[in-house]
Amino acid sequence: MSDRAEEEERNGKKEPVRGVLDRYDELRLRWSGLLTGGTDFDPLVPEFAGIIERITETAEAWRTSLRREEDCSCLWDDLNDWSNTAALTSNYTRIWQMALACRTFGSPLYRRPEWERDVIEALDWMRANHYFAGAEMYGNWWDWHIGVPMKLLDCMTLLYDRLSERQRADYLAAIDHFKPHVAPTATGANRVWECRIIAVRGIVGKDGGKLAAARDELRPVFPYAEEKDGFYRDGSYIQHDTFAYTGGYGQSLLQELSSLIVLLDGSPWEIGKDDREQAYRWIFDSYEPLMYKGLMMDMAMGRVVSRKEEQNHNVGHIIVSSVVKLSQVAEGSDAVALKSMAKEWIRANEWLNFYSAAGLSTAVAAKRIENDADVPPRGELRMHKSFARMARTVHHRPGFAFAISMHSDRISNYESINREHLRGWHTADGMTYLYNGDLGQYADAFWPTVDSFRLPGTTVLRGTEVPANRPSDRSWAGGTELLGAYGAAGMELHPPGQSLAARKSWFLFDDEIAALGSDISAEEPIMAETIVENRMLNREGNNRLTVDGEPKPDRAGWSERMDGARWMHLQGSVPGSDIGYFFPEPATVHGFRESRSGRWHDINRFEPESDPALTRAYLALWLEHGAAPRHASYAYVLLPNRSADETERYAQAPAIEVLANTAEVHAVRHRKLRVTGMNCWIDGGAEAGGIRADRPSSVLTIEREGRLDVAISDPTFRKDGIIGLEIAREAEAVLSRDPAISVLSLAPVIRLAVDAREAGGRTLDICFSTGG
């Protein structure tokens, strides 16, 4: 190549001259394009220019601090603890970020020889000192098997034309030493990570056998799981056997799987059509319900919530990016739906701009979708979804989404390993999340600053911790969906290591959520509390709280016992984030405003201890049940996005009626919607609101236009019997029914036998004509 041609290539004026390409070269260039965005875009477009600037600045920071002495003991002074194997992955990540800048079109570092030289020398130093064929593994296996080879292979892809054959062979020998094949026991995200490694290893090493192995070893990921890790038919995603992880390991799985599907599309090793379509189903069933305006709901993120740079919007952007990628290879209605979904999320997220952290290839594709007038934004969801297998519930309406996190003898309370998520004590004790116009509520340093002893929705012994990684000894956790629009949820709470027990329910209508609790008992002489609210406030901490028409003081430190409260209203921090609270019976509510400080290091030891403390203002509202309570109870209704006046009017004429709140049964009726919900807790039978069930179950009914719809589930997952259900009215005929439901009579009462033994907690439906 002439000097002038080489100069033009470095300056981004044209691509390097290539000889005849084989199919491995073509796939390598496609992978390089997925990493860098290629050159078919205008780098002056503001969104793209911002990404290029970010990539460049990151690389420049690492090169400035890179050590170059021949006898140095590390490449970066802050990554010199080699006993911590995370340092291995971190070193290769920084090298990769420098390599990325070298191959990012539009960057001033594009194809700069001195940069390429530094990157390659850093790779050689790591091979000579730490990651080489024959090296002994220690510490965390993940870094050796997954973290390092992923970044090393990406570096090899980017700088392939600058590496000698000997260097390529040495690097590949190191990878083959630690990750020669996909581990037979690998599941979920770990398996997809390993398949990506083997696939790119096959491309860079021009080994069709590796590529075929990667494709074949990916196949066990696609079938629905029946136990332990994987996707379930109800949309749940579980990793590490007993943890809800759609927004953690599930996010990583989707990120890598979408890349592999695009990478291998049209090649001899492409992912099969049925498997690709299964991935699209996961988007609709597992991911979409857990997304709100571009963020991923925290309750499905596991210990990821304790990572400063991986908060709900960051994770949500990765999901959006994956959807954008898949939309490029999907066909027909799937392609339209995916593009419409991505467009909605990108435009709705006013907290964190999608392009602020996107890769260039995804940004270019996303911009095309945004500019395509034939792709309409999806719009806001109106739906209710019960993820029975992972004990999570979500409820969407325009303007808000509500989420409930529970645990049981099948799903553990919270994962805390590797010194992460150190204060997750009560995050699955019925914690509730209200997402609305305040998109920073759980993203703006919520987790290091919130009072982790008082999380919204939970019933707790004041100030107590519970051990991590434990299931409960109680099986009732889950709920029922009605017409995909309304829901009932509940859990029998018994935290590990405590005598505290409670039965907790939520009945979710349009913009009203009724929360009931009963049989709250404990032996410990510690105050038991139910946390109605613990909301992050604006920076001044002066969001107005109104109680029965009386404004309360807005200063930090305010504390008050408010007897006989019927309604409350909390002013939101931004438009579309007000919250109303209604108490069906006058309640004694305790309130407290405080300014709280905390560090990310407090909840995750991988975060720098030197980081400054963060301070946020909060308002907590709670109900006290006494020390060592016996059979205490509570009831309240959340009213998202209602003004103070609207909340007061609602309190004067509430649409919700509490029918029962006992140790045996919880039941609520919505008068206007004509929806009745009941959670039965006991064997032997319970009745409320004209519904009787003879064993633990969750039931919803709605009457409309001469029809009666009935939905029922067994949240205990028991396999030892059939639920007998009786509804105190008659019907003319059955319009539709789940095969697991048998009709015993239509008059004078409806009697059903419901075989939920194989339902796995899912909702079973039946519809009757009633003639009136």
Q: Using one digit for the tens of pLDDT, what is the confidence trace for 428-460?
A: 999 999 999 999 999 999 999 999 999 999 999
Residue 197 included in any domain? no
**21 confidence band (pLDDT: 50, 70, 90):** confident
Q: Name the average pLDDT for the chain.
A: 96
- What CATH number is attached to the domain comprising 687? 2.60.220.10
Number of domains comprising the chain: 3
**For 610-622, how does the pLDDT look when each residue is reduced to its tens digit (9 = 90+)?**
999 999 999 999 9
Give yes or no for residue 12 having a pLDDT over 60. no
Residue 63 included in any domain? yes
Residue 547 included in any domain? yes
| Whether residues 475 and 508 fall in one domain | yes
| Rounded average pLDDT over 113-137 | 97
Contacts with 290 (C-beta within 8 Å, 6 or more apart), sequence order: 246, 247, 296, 297, 300, 394
| Whether residues 534 and 443 fall in one domain | yes
One-letter amino acid of 601: H
| Whether residues 686 and 635 fall in one domain | no
| Whether residues 604 and 693 fall in one domain | no
Question: How many of the other CB atoms lie within 10 Å of CB of 160?
Answer: 15
Catalytic sites, residue numbers: 240, 249, 303
- What CATH number is attached to the domain comprising 55? 1.50.10.100
Give yes or no for residue 13 having a pLDDT over 50. no
Q: Which residues pair with 490 in a beta bridge?
A: 478, 505
| Whether residues 51 and 110 fall in one domain | yes
**772 confidence band (pLDDT: 50, 70, 90):** low
Output the six-digit token pair for 465: 């911790």
Residue 97 included in any domain? yes
In this structure, of 15-24, 263-272, 511-520, the range with the lowest mean pLDDT score is: 15-24
| Whether residues 672 and 723 fall in one domain | yes
Ramachandran quadrant class, 312 (left: phi over 0; alpha: psi -120 to 50; beta: rest): alpha
| Whether residues 431 and 476 fall in one domain | yes
| Whether residues 429 and 568 fall in one domain | yes
| Whether residues 566 and 683 fall in one domain | no
Give yes or no for residue 99 having a pLDDT over 90. yes
Give yes or no for residue 14 having a pLDDT over 50. no
Percent of the chain with pLDDT over 70: 97
Q: Which residues pair with 678 in a beta bridge?
A: 667, 699
**17 confidence band (pLDDT: 50, 70, 90):** very low
pLDDT value of position 4: 40
Of 180, 215, 235, the last residue of a domain is 180
| Whether residues 517 and 638 fall in one domain | yes
pLDDT value of position 721: 84
Of 180, 200, 234, the last residue of a domain is 180
| Whether residues 672 and 642 fall in one domain | no
Of 117, 151, 180, the last residue of a domain is 180
Cis preceding-peptide flag for 748 (omega within 30 of 0): yes
Residue 301 included in any domain? no
pLDDT value of position 755: 97
Residue 193 included in any domain? no
Give yes or no for residue 117 having a pLDDT over 60. yes
| Whether residues 673 and 735 fall in one domain | yes
- What CATH number is attached to the domain comprising 538? 2.70.98.10
**719 confidence band (pLDDT: 50, 70, 90):** confident
pLDDT value of position 685: 86
pLDDT value of position 18: 55
Contacts with 114 (C-beta within 8 Å, 6 or more apart), sequence order: none
Q: From CA 673, how far away is CA 583, in angstroms rounded?
A: 20
Residue 196 included in any domain? no
Structural domain for 720, as ranges: 661-769
Helix, strand, coil % in the chain, rounded to nearest 5:
35, 25, 40
**Which of 378, 381, 385 minimizes the C-alpha distance to 484?**
385
Give yes or no for residue 10 having a pLDDT over 80. no
Residue 4 included in any domain? no
